[in-house]
Amino acid sequence: MLEIYNTLTRSKQELIPITPGKIGIYVCGMTVYDYCHLGHARVMIAFDVVVRHLRALGYEVTYVRNITDVDDKIIARAQQNTESIDSLTQQFIDAMHEDERALAVIAPDQEPRATQSMPQIISMIAKLIENNSAYIGSNGDVFYAVNQFSSYGKLSGKRIEELRAGERIDIDSAKRDPMDFVLWKSAKPDEPAWESPWGNGRPGWHIECSAMSTDCLGNHFDIHGGGMDLQFPHHENEIAQSEAATGETFVNLWMHNGFVRVDEEKMSKSLDNFFTVREVIKTVRDPEVIRFFIISSHYRSPLNYSQDNLNEADSALTRLYTALRGYPTSDKAPERQAGYTNQFNDAMNDDFNTPSALSVLFEVAREINRNQSKPDVAATLAGQLRQLGGRLGILQQNADQFLKKSIPRQTDTQTTSNTDENAVASSSVLSDDEINQCIKQRTDARNNKNWELADKIRDELMEQGIILEDISGSTTWRRG
RNA sequence: GGCUGCGUGGCAGAGGGGUUAUGCAGCGGCCUGCAAAGCCGUGGACGCCGGUUCAAAUCCGACCGCAGCCUCCA
């Protein structure tokens, strides 16, 4: 039985599909005016893990993740770059897809874009105006009337009066109530605009998600997710809009992932403490290290980004790949040890407890290592380890190739924003051929019991980050 | 100020009323020419103060500390 923490009820609850056997899930995706940072990577990976597990349980999943491709920041950035909005957003959509592939994130089934969803958005706004949930303000913008929605605040635990009392809310005279939020913004000169019954303009941020999610998944669907910071006001407003427009319950389960932090602070654009996926990829031997790092903590916990923690992830992954080394990559071995799979499932069924699931992988790895003398048993276990790893999107590479990949020279990404020169400077690396030459010389020396020379060669390789291992009569190497 | 959530061993990170998390690092041993890898064994923990209980790191309350939201943000 799969239990998921529901922000709406602040408790774990069983997932009961609206349509038996099927799950519709919508995740708030990126606003594409810049490269994805680690926080975005966390959303992508967290929900990738969710979808993988739902599918492993046999659900037919429809996974929708939107792209916000028009908003104030996009417009500002395009003007600043003197390029069109389309070329700006296309560039960063492509970059996002690259990052996604690098992190082994399976693409969503649908990726609706705001600019391509105008009819749905306009029709939802029209419905809201029709039933008095929205009105046209004195400046021509269309606003949602929060006081018309009695359960406003049910997701975030906020009450309207308290919010009104807050000092931080700007008084916008066009609104009837400071809490009201914009559904349709009239276009200023030089701004992109779409025709609507309320004049040329563009949608507010919240309405696009209501329109796209219900368009793709129906008025009432199973799971809606996103980062914690979207809880209020974004998701609260989505509920208000959607339920007022359709008269139906919007979403059964709300999932929110925790932040990536830097020095115990939220990673964010405004604090300028963010690291892009592509720059962090340059600091690790393989992007899989980043993926492992992200799933090594629970999706709702804070995750502190540092090079040390990334290195730890590398060590842990190295242990798993070391256990897999020498066993075939594609192994459809039968699962002899149902116990491990059960443990793994139990962990994942408990609100996607990936750290606990990973601990099962380490148990399997130990069992493989224990059974080195029984190749059949070990190979079967290796197949199982690969299979379970696959359910988390890890351990699908050739183990030996992974272990031979070079680890970039450690740079302090905490204080210096990594430029290309910094990160790539590592690589005066020896070629495989050169390494094998050295190993051959060392083997000769060892055969002559010339330990001094043999150790000298090994030490020199070590200085280059090459670690030798003498395993059952032959010598292999890896980078560490 | 209001509302969330969190404080676990040297570090990372699960768990969660009585019984080993796991990984890295440490210590002892086995293996090895010596190493590395691996295996076996091992030390070390639940912010503080009260309460409930036969029993609390785990439940309840106060306190302290941290993060987040209340403004665009994954």
Return the CATH number at A123.
3.40.50.620
Q: Of A74, A66, A56, which is closest to residue A216 (Cα–Cα)?
A: A66
Nearest to A23 by CA among A209, A208, A220, A210: A220
- Domain stop point among A262, A297, A329: A262
**Would you call A13 helix, strand, or coil by DSSP?**
strand
pLDDT tens by residue, A148-161:
999 999 999 888 88
Q: Is residue A276 part of a domain?
A: no
Based on the fold, state whether residues A388 and A474 are members of the same structural domain: no
Which of residues 175-214 of A have CB within 7 Å of strand B? Answer: 181, 205
Position A29, amino acid: G
pLDDT band at A331 (very low <50, low <70, confident <90, very high): low
- Among A356, A388, A403, the domain-final residue is A403
The confidence score (pLDDT) of residue A422 equals 39
Q: Are residues A46 and A194 in the same domain?
A: yes
Residue A277 lies in a domain: no
Q: Which of residues 369-388 of A touch strand B (CB under 7 A)?
A: 369-370, 372
Q: What is the pLDDT of residue A168?
A: 52
The rounded distance, in Å, linking the Cα atoms of A234 and A66 is 14
Give the bases of strand B that a protein CB approaches within 7 Å: 1-5, 11-16, 21-25, 32-40, 66-74
Q: Is the peptide bond before A233 cis (omega within 30 degrees of 0)?
A: yes
For A24-55, how does the pLDDT look when each residue is reduced to its tens digit (9 = 90+)?
A: 999 999 999 999 999 999 999 999 999 999 99
How, if at all, do strands A22-27 and A60-65 pair?
Answer: parallel
Residues A445 and A386 both lie in one domain: no
Provide the pLDDT for residue A332: 62
CATH (domain of A357): 1.20.120.640
Same domain, A172 and A207: yes
Residue A261 approaches strand B within 7 Å at CB = yes
Residues 309-328 of A with CB under 7 A from strand B: 309, 312, 315-316, 319, 322-323
**How many angstroms from the chain centroid is the CA of residue A21?**
25
The answer on pLDDT for A412 being more than 90 is: no
Tell me the pLDDT band of A357, cut-offs 50, 70 and 90: very high
pLDDT at A433: 93
- Answer yes or no: is A455 CB < 7 A from strand B: yes
**Closest nt by CA–C1' to A265:** B67
Residues A377 and A448 in one domain: no
- What's A83's DSSP letter? -
d(CA A213, CA A117): 11
Edge-first strand listing for the sheet containing A134-136: A134-136, A142-144, A181-186, A201-203
Assess whether pLDDT exceeds 90 at residue A425: no
Ranking A62-76, A350-364, A399-413 by mean pLDDT, the lowest is A399-413
Residues 158-177 of A with CB under 7 A from strand B: 158-159, 162-163, 166, 168-169
Nucleotide nearest to A312 (CA to C1'): B24
C-alpha pair distances (Å), A59 with each of A39, A174, A222, A338: 28, 47, 12, 21
Q: Which domain holds residue A356?
A: 283-403
* Domain-embedded: residue A22: yes
If phi over 0 gives left and psi between -120 and 50 gives alpha, with beta otherwise, what is residue A159? Answer: beta
Distance CA A67, CA A208 (A): 10
Q: Is the ipTM of this complex over 0.90?
A: yes
Distance A229 CA to B5 C1' (A): 13
Same domain, A300 and A198: no
- The answer to whether residue A118 is domain-embedded is yes
Residues A317 and A292: their CA atoms lie apart, in Å, by 7
Q: Within this chain, do residues A300 and A336 fall inside the same structural domain, yes or no?
A: yes
pLDDT at A260 over 90: yes
Q: Where are the beta strands (DSSP E) in A187-314?
A: 201-203, 221-227, 251-257, 260-262, 265-266, 303-304
Q: Total structural domains in chain A?
A: 3
* Band of residue A328 on the pLDDT scale cut at 50, 70, 90: confident
Is the predicted pLDDT of residue A427 greater than 60, yes or no?
A: no
Query: Per residue in A174-231, pLDDT tens?
Result: 889 889 999 999 998 889 999 999 999 999 999 999 999 999 999 999 999 999 999 9
pLDDT, residue A333, reads 56
- A449: tokens are 């019991």
What confidence score (pLDDT) does residue A190 get?
87
pLDDT beyond 70 at A330? no
Structural domain includes residue A274:
no
CA closest to C1' of B15 belongs to A356
Q: Is the minimum distance from the CB of A285 to strand B below 7 Å?
A: no
Q: How confident is the model at residue A334 (pLDDT cuts 50, 70, 90)?
A: low
Q: Over the stretch A89-146, which tens digit does the pLDDT of each residue have?
A: 999 999 999 999 999 999 999 999 999 999 999 999 999 999 999 999 999 999 999 9
Closest nucleotide (C1' vs CA) to A170 is B71
Q: How many Å apart are A299 CA and B46 C1'?
A: 22
Same domain (yes/no): A365, A415: no
Distance of CA A10 to the CA centre of its chain: 22
Residue A413 shares a structural domain with residue A383: no
A264 CA, B65 C1': Å apart: 13
Residue A8 lies in a domain: yes
In a domain, A195, yes or no: yes
Higher pLDDT, residue A164 or A22: A22
The answer to whether some atom of strand B lies closer than 7 Å to the beta carbon of A33 is no
Predicted confidence at residue A472, as pLDDT, reads: 83
A230 beta carbon to strand B: under 7 Å: yes
Looking at the structure, do residues A73 and A172 belong to the same domain, yes or no? yes
What confidence score (pLDDT) does residue A420 get? 40
Weakest-pLDDT range from A65-69, A187-191, A257-261: A187-191
- What's the rounded Cα separation, in Å, for the pair A57 and A73? 40
Task: Tell me the C-alpha distance between A2 and A368, whole Å.
Answer: 29
Q: Are strands A201-203 and A181-186 parallel, antiparallel or unpaired?
A: antiparallel
Listed residues A349, A383, A403: the one ending a domain: A403
- Shared-domain flag, residues A399 and A342: yes
> What is d(CA A317, CA A299) in angstroms, rounded to the nearest whole number?
19
Residue A416 has pLDDT above 70, yes or no: no
Q: Is residue A269 part of a domain?
A: no
Task: State what percent of residues in chain A have pLDDT above 90.
Answer: 85
Of A79, A114, A118, A122, whose CA–CA distance to A93 is shortest?
A114
Same-domain check for residues A105 and A224: yes
Q: Mean pLDDT across the stretch A425-437?
A: 77
